[in-house]
Amino acid sequence: MNSSIEIKQLTKQYGAKVAVDRITLNIADGELFALLGMNGAGKTTLINMLSTITQPTSGDALLNGKSIVTEADQVKKFIAVSPQETAIAPNLTVRENLELMAGLYGFDKQTVKQKTDQMIQRFSLQPYEKSKSKTLSGGWKRKLSIAMALISDPKILFLDEPTLGLDVLARRELWAVIEKLKEKTTIILTTHYLEEAESLSDQICIMRDGRIKAIGTVSQLNEQAGTSKFEDTFIKLVEDGGQQ
Amino acid sequence: MKMTIFAKRTTKEIIRDPLAVLFGIGFPVVLLLLLSAINRNIPNDLFNIERLTPGVAVFGLSFMSLFSAQLIAKDRASSFLTRLFTTPMKAADYILGYALPLVPIALAQGIVCYAVAFLLGMKFSLSIVVALIMLIPISFIFIGIGLLCGTVFSEKAATAICGALLTNLTAWLSGTWFDLNLVGGAFKAIAYVLPFVHAVDMGKAAAIGAYADMLPHLWWVLAYGAALVVIAVATFRRGMKIS
């Protein structure tokens, strides 16, 4: 499988604090890649750099062969982000939010309508189509947020804590949505929910203090840590695992 | 194209906030009605409608700062702006998309203000149209302040600065409520270094057709408007890189 993302010595420093420290890794095309770590591990900073929101201090990453440092405008054409917060326009309706995002990617009017209809159907948003997005529950806001990210048919999708604060049913529903996206889209996901990463991911990267502590499939990581439960694996690797 | 799409969104966000519309359009009208009522009951002609209206029209524009500051600060806080930063929009699309929808809103606010003034006895003349047009460059001062505050401060701080501080600055240092000569000294000197009194004096001169008297104030307004917009754009662009 070809690499969709090639990260080379990517570093972000804020003054003396190193948020992401010389990360190097490859993510294959169509893979769901999870970033795990405690708060402040550098997951969101890494996603922000890859999605061109934050400029790296040094290093680079190639997304479908385009540099996030020198070709950020090109990269923006085929990526999408669903940030940690719901990131929707509160006084616009669900339909208008989707149309806005499609319009900003330069689609013509007819395509905007077509894509909006598709997203509304795909995420079962029909009952709320004409409701202002600020009136939706947390779960529906999250769904809308992900639908807004997907409306441009991104090749690479960044999901930052997509199920944060959702109840178990809403979370499972979103998992099903994410599951369906695999193969067509390369997904980079950050989460605090270990079972989410375990259930959805092809590969998991555990970060601590801006560095990679371990990387691999769930079974590879369990093997590396010498445990059978992923939660134990995570704790062991975060506390004393080897570094890249 | 992207700018137009984003500008439509800005317009919808503002006009669908009933409190914002109520304050933005209603507050200057309430002030006009109240001060005109006071004027009828005091012996001197302190709040003469012909002199009061251009000042209230400028004062009302301070709400444009509040609208733009709140919107940008909210977009930052909710990460909506972060999401937009990953789209193919350019810096100019954001700035114009936030700023331009406020110009017709400012003009509409001015029209309502003058319409109420006509009902209260102000005489219509073509020079009023000039005074209304002059609200456009003045609005850029307030929009620029709003863009800047929304980019730099949190929603709470931006609301406090543009809502409480700026409206008070505009009220006290613009000569709308009283002749600055009555205070004089440093107060008057400071007021004439700031743009608010120049905006009001320009509006007053335009409204009575004294176009020659308008010009010296127009340069102040244009200079402040241009400087504030340039600073706001530079700050926003810097924020885009840092975020």
Amino acid at A189: L
Furthest-apart CA atoms within chain A: distance in Å: 56
Provide the H-helix boundaries in A183-243.
194-200, 218-225, 230-240
ipTM field: 0.85
B80 → chain A, closest CA residue: A87
pLDDT value, residue A239: 83
For B177, phi and psi rounded to 5 degrees? -90, -25
pLDDT in tens, A104-140: 999 999 999 999 999 999 888 999 999 999 999 888 9
CB-CB contact of B207 with B56 (8 Å): no
Judging contacts by C-beta atoms under 8 Å, the chain B residues touching residue A141 are none
pTM for the structure as a whole: 0.86
Cβ-nearest to B88 among A86, A87, A106: A106
Provide the H-helix boundaries in A54-158.
72-75, 94-104, 109-122, 138-150
Is the Cβ of B2 closer than 8 Å to some Cβ of chain A?
yes
Query: Residue B185 CA to chain centroid, in angstroms?
Result: 27
Q: How far is A9 from chain B (nearest CA, A)?
A: 20
Amino acid at A63: L
pLDDT value, residue B243: 55
Q: How far is A144 from chain B (nearest CA, A)?
A: 13
Residue B41: C-alpha distances to residues A201, B35, B86, B175, B176 (Å):
76, 10, 59, 21, 19
Is the Cβ of B74 closer than 8 Å to some Cβ of chain A?
yes
pLDDT value, residue B106: 93
B239: left (phi over 0), alpha (psi -120 to 50) or beta: alpha
Q: How far is A28 from chain B (nearest CA, A)?
A: 21
As given in the structure block, the two tokens for residue A35 are: 């970033």
Residue-wise pLDDT tens for chain B (243 aa)?
Answer: 899 999 999 999 999 988 888 888 888 899 899 988 888 888 777 788 888 999 999 999 998 999 899 999 999 998 899 899 999 998 889 989 999 999 999 999 999 999 999 999 999 999 999 999 999 999 999 999 999 999 999 999 998 998 888 888 888 898 888 888 888 889 999 999 999 999 999 999 999 999 999 999 999 999 999 999 999 989 988 877 665
Cβ-nearest to A104 among B6, B16, B79: B6
Provide the H-helix boundaries in A10-58.
43-50
Is the Cβ of B84 closer than 8 Å to some Cβ of chain A?
yes
CATH 3.40.640.10 at A1-78+157-244, yes or no? no
Give me the residue spans of the domains in chain A.
1-78+157-244, 85-153
| Buried/exposed B18-28: b ≥16 CB within 10 Å, e otherwise | eebbebbbebb
Which DSSP string do the residues of chain B spell out, in sequence order? Answer: -HHHHHHHHHHHHHHT-HHHHIIIIIHHHHHHHHHHHHHHTSSS-TT-HHHHHHHHHHHHHHHHHHHHHHHHHHHHHTTHHHHHHTSS--HHHHHHHHHTTHHHHHHHHHHHHHHHHHHTTPPP-HHHHHHHHHHHHHHHHHHHHHHHHHHHS-HHHHHIIIIIIHHHHHHHTTTSSS-GGGT-HHHHHHHHHSSHHHHHHHHHHHHTT-HHHHHHHHHHHHHHHHHHHHHHHHHHHHHHHH-
Cβ-nearest to B86 among A53, A89, A90: A53
Q: How far is A74 from chain B (nearest CA, A)?
A: 8
Q: DSSP letter at A96?
A: H
Q: Residue B7: CB partners within 8 Å, gap ≥ 6?
A: B96, B97, B100, B101
| Distance (Å, whole) CA A88 – CA A110 | 23
CB-CB contact of A31 with A4 (8 Å): yes
Nearest Cα residue to B68 out of B48, B94, B49: B94
Whether B87 sits inside 8 A of A132 (CB atoms) is no
CB-CB contact of A69 with A185 (8 Å): no
| Distance (Å, whole) CA A208 – CA A105 | 35
| Distance (Å, whole) CA B68 – CA B64 | 6
Cβ-nearest to A103 among B5, B83, B85: B5
- List the end-to-end C-alpha distance of chain A, in Å, as a whole number: 23
CB-CB contact of A124 with A136 (8 Å): no
Residue-wise pLDDT tens for chain A (244 aa)?
Answer: 576 899 999 999 999 999 999 999 999 999 999 999 988 899 989 999 999 999 999 999 999 999 999 999 999 999 999 988 889 999 999 999 999 999 999 999 999 999 999 999 988 899 999 999 999 988 899 889 999 999 999 999 999 988 887 788 888 888 888 888 887 899 999 998 899 999 999 999 999 999 999 999 999 999 999 999 999 999 998 886 444 4
B88 → chain A, closest CA residue: A76
Number of CB atoms found within 10 A of residue B130's CB: 16
